[in-house]
């Protein structure tokens, strides 16, 4: 298949309202070019399903409508709003990024993906997705759905395909787009096609970078989450260390896990998701 044929197939499908319209209408971040709102959505969507993100996106922007309000948020308030999305570090990274942009860039987002990538929690994909959807950047990027599309059309019999190979094809597709097609529309089309037409998740196993997301229940992450949620539920800002440790040890005993309370608490302290004084833990 030629690049031109590929472009036509994807765009013809995407511009057909029954096919592409449903997904476009339910994602509010696609109706804005505000880099802050797009960043919030992209970070929330990392390893989290759209259905879970939709209500939290609205709640988060209601609580922190702009960079300044997020930069000034207390950690407890931030984590309370974030609760339900998991991967708590993402919330802390978002706040730190808001502080850096507010303090070092006069509250204005850099447009260069390489600069965006220097902010905490923003990797190559998120930096380029943000630059594309907010500023019209024409640099290729891959997520699970977009990767699946390129593997299907251009590497149908290959295994162990590297992202470097895929990105070469992806960049050619962007560089030769018709003049009436923006990079933003093109990437939304690829995402939707991969998510709704190519439902065979086995395609992604042919990527060199494939890894299966681990089960949450009973995982190390699940017990970290339990600690954060417990501290969030406490009426006082600080909770005695002995009390936190007892609750966690009882949970670990019930679940019969190999993890210790100490290693879970140490990991949370290391990631600065919780803090401690001489006698108490707090957020």
User: Please, are residues 103 and 127 in contact by the beta-carbon 8 Å criterion?
Assistant: no
Report how far residue 186's alpha carbon sits from residue 194's, in angstroms, rounded to the nearest whole number. 12
For 219-245, the DSSP string reads: SHHHHHHHHHHHHHH-SSSEEEHHHHH
Find the length of the chain.
Answer: 283
Catalytic site positions:
42
- Helical residues (DSSP H) of 27-88, grouped into ranges: 35-44, 50-63, 67-71, 75-82
User: Please, are residues 187 and 30 in contact by the beta-carbon 8 Å criterion?
Assistant: no
Environment class of residue 266 by beta-carbon count within 10 Å: exposed (0-12), middle (13-18) or buried (19+)? Answer: exposed
Q: What is the dihedral of CA 49, 55, 57, 59, to 10 degrees?
A: -150
Sequence-separated (6 or more) residues with CB below 8 Å from residue 21: none
Q: Give the number of other Cβ atoms within 10 Å of residue 128's Cβ.
A: 23
């Amino acid at each position: 298949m030629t690049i031109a044929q590929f472009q036509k197939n994807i765009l013809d499908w995407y511009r057909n309202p029954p096919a592409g319209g449903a997904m476009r209408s339910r994602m509010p971040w696609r109706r804005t070019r505000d880099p802050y709102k797009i960043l919030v959505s992209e970070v929330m969507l990392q390893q989290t399903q759209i259905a879970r993100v939709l209500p939290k996106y609205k709640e988060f922007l209601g609580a922190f409508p702009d960079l300044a309000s997020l930069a000034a948020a207390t950690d407890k308030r931030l984590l309370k709003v974030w609760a339900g999305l998991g991967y708590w570090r993402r919330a802390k990274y978002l706040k730190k990024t808001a502080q850096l942009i507010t303090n070092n860039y006069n509250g204005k987002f850099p447009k260069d993906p390489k600069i965006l990538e220097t902010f905490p929690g923003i990797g190559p994909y998120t930096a380029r997705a943000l630059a594309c959807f907010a500023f019209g950047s024409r640099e290729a990027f891959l997520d699970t759905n977009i990767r699946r599309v390129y593997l299907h059309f251009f590497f149908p019999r290959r295994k162990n395909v590297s992202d470097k190979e895929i990105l070469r094809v992806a960049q050619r597709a962007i560089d030769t787009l018709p003049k009436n097609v923006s990079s933003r529309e093109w990437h939304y089309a690829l995402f939707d096609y991969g998510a709704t037409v190519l439902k065979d998740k086995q395609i992604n196993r042919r990527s060199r970078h494939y890894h299966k997301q681990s089960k949450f229940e009973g995982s190390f992450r699940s017990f970290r989450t339990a600690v954060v949620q417990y501290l969030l539920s406490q009426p006082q800002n600080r909770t005695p260390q002995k009390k936190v440790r007892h609750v966690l040890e009882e949970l670990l005993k019930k679940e019969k896990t190999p993890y210790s309370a100490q290693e879970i608490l140490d990991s949370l302290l290391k990631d600065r998701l919780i803090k401690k004084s001489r006698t108490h833990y707090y957020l």
